[in-house]
Chains A and B, each alone.
Chain A
Amino acid sequence: MTTNMKKLPKDSFERITIDSSHAEKISKPSLSFWQDAWLRIRKNKAAIVSMFILVFIVFMAFVGPYMVEHDPEDVKVAHASLPPKIPGLEKLGIFDGEGKLGSKTVNLYELKKVEVNYWFGTDSLGRDLFSRLWKGTQISLLIAFVAAVIDVVIGVIYGGISGYYGGRVDDIMQRIVEVLIGIPTLVIVILMIMIMKPGIWSIIIALSITGWIGMSRIVRGQVLKYKNQEFVLAAKTLGASDTRIIVKHLLPNIMAIIVINMMFTIPTAIFFEAFLSFIGMGLQAPKASLGTLINDGYKFLEYQPHILFFPAVIISLLMIAFNLIGDGLRDALDPKMKD
């Protein structure tokens, strides 16, 4: 070793001084909480696929009804109960407009001399099921989304106040919650629908009347966890008002949990809307939602299974997508909860 060293000329070495100020340098760009979450959720294939499916369904819910020339509420008795017919797919032997007439399989479009195509067929009143499906999806999504937003707003305000102010206020507010939480959602939703006329808003109100309780408890728990931490004390010392502390300091910290919970509230709302419609307490015809479409389809299941097929697939896809995105978000936003 030492002999080799001697052979090397002195000037091939150079003294480098280390600038100690660079020791703590962060070479990677700093990521915000949501950027970080995105990096993590991107690896979750199921969640990403679900996002694409969800975006597609939402897109179709708004564009779908205008893609065909038929109106979703237009009754045309002459075109009643037609099977699906999609031009281009006829050669494959599917969606070719053939359906059962008695025990024979015939092309009902030729039989009834229908010139136009109904991609997903028609129902017993001759309403176009393609536009009805997407219109119904739109309404189901609207109900679920609005109900979820109301739950979040009331839940955050109630839970925030209860947790932040604590003491007597918290005591009274929590006693109320403890009584309310005993009431089963199913019972309250059905009773509420019964006094209000079935419609979009009565379903939304019925769903939100106890829906916020879960959210309020989560928010309260989180607020209790954070409110005694140093950064809140610092903000207080600097003279921040209560509102400012709640909105600027506490809310951003509990945002993740709120978003995760909303992702699970939406499918629950979609389910309850469909459930109500299925037992005949939902929207009234000619309005459509996924639930009413499934209910309609169920009545004609034996001879026209296509009426049930499409809404059943869409509602299942929606529920699966929301649940998978919710799972993905939970893993990505809250690594502690990961298994």
Chain B
Amino acid sequence: MAKYITKRVIYMFLSLFLIASFTFVLMKLLPGSPLASASKLSVEQREVVYEKYGLNDPIPVQYVRYMGNLAKGDFGVSFQYKNADVTTLIVKKLKYSAILGAQALIFGTLIGIILGMIAALKQNTVWDYGSTIIAILGISIPSFVFAVLLQYVFAVWLEVLPVGLWEGWKSSILPSIALAMGPIAIAARFIRTEMIEVLSSDYILLAKAKGANWFEIAFKHAFRNALIPLITVLGPVAAGLLTGSLVVEQIFAIPGIGQQFVKSISSNDFAVIMGTTMFFSVFLIVIILIVDILYGVIDPRIRLSGGSK
């Protein structure tokens, strides 16, 4: 186990190193200047600004400095926001994205589990078809289409919830629901398959033979075992939430990291783009690592490849 974790952590850092270098190279290749009105500045003025941000140094020097700072958790300063520290900027915006993400994750998984259980326990009935249809729709309909639909129906048409911006918890309802569609669908499908498999196993038959009632079988025996593998879908769910947050935050004008990222792309804000990219990557890679390790710990039947016991 220790060997496996060490191996995975080394790969994690290799991946991150690659992403960091790649991001750096891409930023250098990128057309356009980070200065909003570069053409209006005189050559001397531009020189001063470039000197200040170290943009005049040879590329390798900039690279080493960038990587060194990165290792210290310093993503540099934003060009767009009057020298705001990128790390501080991300931390400040993180709050909104984290609230949306957490709400979507909890709400989505719970609804998904309920739908999946209903489908499995009432297999091949209207209930089953209904929840399968919801799952298919959740996987298929892009989050931005769903978000726009929600916004139109509840904010523009019925006017019961705010259209956008962050004005307290009420503003987070619609974007959270839009984001939750993915987790609902993934969890529902997964739990259904797992439950059906567990329900047909021998120990369920034994429980039935011993006279356990329906409720006991469903919750005490089947559900708990079906729940364990659900951890594995956490990786894809997290990736989906992150992707979704870019557009959903944009649609509802939530001042989170996703919206920040999209804004930085259009304003060529190198430091923020690199910082956010690294943040996204670390976030996803660490989650996947934790999921893999957790799964091995929780379910001892899983033999992690590479780890000799």
Contact = CB atoms under 8 A, between A and B. Distances in A.
Given A183-B18, A323-B136, A301 B148 contact: yes
Contacts of A319: 139-142
B19 to A, nearest CB: 6
Interface stretch (A14-22, A75-83, A162-170, A274-282): A274-282
Nearest to B285: A182
A74 interface: no
Interface of A: 178-188, 190-192, 194-195, 267, 271, 274-275, 278-281, 294, 298, 301-302, 305, 308, 312, 315-316, 319-320, 322-324, 339
B230 to A, nearest CB: 16
Contact of B145 (A183, A294, A302): A294
Contacts of A308: 148
A275 B266 contact: no
A168 to B, nearest CB: 17
B80 interface: no
Contacts of B251: 298
Contacts of B246: 186, 275, 279
A279 to B, nearest CB: 5
Interface string B253-277: 0000000001001100000010001
B299 interface: no
A323 B139 contact: yes
A281 B277 CA distance: 16
B247 interface: yes
Interface stretch (B22-30, B39-47, B50-58, B164-172): B22-30
Interface residues on B, range: 35 or more
B242 A182 contact: no
Given A274-B142, A294-B144, A179 B11 contact: yes
B247 A278 contact: yes
B242 A184 contact: yes
A177 to B, nearest CB: 10
A249 B262 CA distance: 48
B14 interface: yes
Contacts of A184: 239, 242, 280-281, 284-285
B243 to A, nearest CB: 5
A279 B273 CA distance: 14
Contacts of A315: 142, 145
A194 B31 CA distance: 9
B142 A179 contact: no
A82 to B, nearest CB: 20
